[in-house]
């Protein structure tokens, strides 16, 4: 799959495109290029393809196709959802609740709303990364318009109790949104069973290309549009549709549905082996151990080491460190700090996120390399 024999264990950052997804989208980059809004036959044919793709993607999360809009990715979907709700339900209240371990796309959007006069509660998490439902109960008020909690955390893999959170939000009439970017393709999603009002995911985290994402909006949920123009996507996201991306996302959903159980089985075996072997090294431990953890992710702290130096020494291995580069200063990961790590321990942490193209050989090679670096 990869040039130069790279051992790629950074699937939570982005995935390669599945060759079958690439094959499905290619005709739409070549001959089938028409604008799906054009009224000529050529455009109408593309419109029909988009309709089918939308049904398939909606099916993937057990939604209706008119509850789905396409975006450029999860970041855009999150902005459209959170800002859209905040502006629409302004008269009901100006309070939003989210989690301190959310992706920056959620946190920065909430920060922006705070500057515009909204009030945001950032809930803390336990040392295993899980939300405290009692704390949530106390935080919800009659003027809370939205609760937004991610499904699966991208850094430590903890799975939040989405169904319970949605129920609590609804008890006071607040809407519930979940960023399901790390859940989609890895675990089955049913928006009705979960009871969510808004949910987003992104193509490039599930073997489709970058630049395509989807936002589920439960019928009757009001969103003030953030992107104005030709009125595409029921006026909620104007702009010519990314047809190759949409077709690719539909194919990625189809493959994920069919192969999810198999992938889960094989990836779990690899992740568990990697984790068990690395934990045998002195001064290592898992960040955010929880019963509820996605099967492809492990975040390990190599106490006393510098993750950046480790990454620099691992020439053929792609993993992530426990820090983020924001405004050109390197900061310790806000997720690791939220689960109680100090800066040194956060900077000593590596995230390994596996995917369906990993092999036992990749894992053995990574274990071998890290063992050698520890000598």
Give the gyration radius of the chain's Cα atoms: 21
- 325 an active-site residue? yes
**Binding flag, residue 75, ligand PLP (CB under 6 A):** yes
Q: Which is nearer to ligand PLP, 74 or 348 (CB)?
A: 74
Bridge partners (DSSP) listed for residue 147: 97, 176
In Å, how far are 59, 68, 150 from 218, measured between CA atoms?
14, 8, 17
Give the Å distances, CA to CA, from 152 to 5, 14, 218, 299. Answer: 29, 15, 21, 14
**Is residue 252 at the binding interface for ligand PLP, with CB under 6 A as the rule?**
no
Residues with Cβ within 8 Å of 8's Cβ and at least 6 positions away in sequence, in order, are 1, 2, 16, 318, 355, 357, 358, 362
**Closest alpha carbon to 153 in 173, 136, 171, 128:** 128
Tell me the β-bridge partners of 331. Answer: 324
Which CB atom, from 179 or from 345, has the smaller least distance to ligand PLP? 179
Single out the segment in contact with ligand PLP by CB under 6 A; choices: 54-62, 71-79, 141-149, 367-375. 71-79
Q: Does 355 bind ligand PLP (CB under 6 A)?
A: no
Residue 213 contacts ligand PLP per CB under 6 A: yes
User: Which is closer to ligand PLP, CB of 179 or CB of 197?
Assistant: 179
Report the C-alpha gap between 156 and 89 in whole angstroms: 33
Rounded to whole angstroms, the Cα distance separating 370 from 352 reads 12
Using the rule CB under 6 A, which residue among 7, 103, 301, 356 binds ligand PLP?
A: 103
DSSP 160: P
Among 49, 50, 136, 150, binds ligand PLP (CB under 6 A): 150
Give the binding range for ligand PLP (CB under 6 A) out of 68-76, 86-94, 132-140, 257-265.
68-76
Spell out, one character per residue from 167 to 196, where the chain touches ligand PLP: x when CB under 6 A holds, - when not. ------------x-xx--------------
For position 154 contacting ligand PLP by CB under 6 A, the verdict is yes
The residue ranges that bind ligand PLP (CB under 6 A) are: 12, 73-75, 103, 105, 150, 154, 179, 181-182, 202, 205, 213
- Show which residues are catalytic: 325
């Amino acid at each position: 799959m990869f040039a130069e024999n790279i051992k790629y264990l950074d699937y939570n950052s982005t995935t390669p495109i599945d060759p079958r997804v690439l094959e499905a989208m290619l005709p739409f980059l070549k001959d089938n290029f028409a604008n799906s809004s054009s009224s000529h036959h050529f455009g109408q044919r593309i419109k029909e393809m988009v309709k089918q793709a939308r049904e398939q993607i909606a099916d993937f999360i057990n939604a209706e196709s008119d509850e789905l809009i396409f975006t450029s990715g999860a970041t855009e979907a999150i902005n459209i959802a959170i800002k859209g709700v905040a502006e629409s339900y302004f008269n009901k209240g100006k309070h939003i609740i989210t989690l301190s371990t959310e992706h920056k796309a959620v946190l920065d959007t909430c920060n922006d709303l705070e500057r515009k006069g909204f009030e945001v509660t950032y809930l803390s998490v336990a040392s295993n990364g899980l939300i405290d439902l009692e704390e949530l109960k106390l935080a919800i008020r009659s003027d809370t318009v939205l609760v937004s909690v991610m499904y699966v955390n991208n850094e430590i893999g903890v799975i939040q109790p989405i169904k319970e959170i949605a129920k609590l939000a609804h008890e006071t009439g607040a809407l519930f949104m979940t960023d399901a970017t790390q859940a989609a393709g890895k675990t089955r999603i049913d928006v009705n069973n979960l009871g969510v009002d808004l949910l987003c995911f992104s193509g490039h985290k599930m073997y489709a290309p970058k630049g395509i994402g989807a936002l589920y909006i439960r019928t009757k949920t009001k969103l003030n549009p953030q992107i104005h123009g030709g009125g595409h996507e029921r006026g909620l996201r104007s702009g010519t549709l990314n047809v190759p991306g949409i077709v690719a996302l539909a194919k990625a959903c189809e493959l994920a549905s069919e192969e999810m159980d198999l992938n889960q089985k094989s990836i779990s075996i690899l992740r568990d082996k990697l984790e068990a072997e690395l934990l045998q090294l002195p001064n290592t431990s898992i960040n955010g151990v929880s019963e509820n953890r996605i099967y492809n992710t492990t975040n390990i702290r190599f106490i006393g080491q510098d993750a950046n130096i480790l990454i620099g020494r691992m020439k053929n291995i792609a993993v992530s460190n426990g820090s983020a580069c924001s405004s050109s200063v390197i900061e310790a990961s806000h997720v690791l700090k939220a689960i109680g790590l100090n800066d040194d321990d956060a900077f000593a942490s590596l995230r390994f996120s596996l995917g369906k193209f990993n092999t036992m050989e990749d894992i053995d090679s990574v274990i071998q390399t890290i063992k050698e670096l520890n000598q």
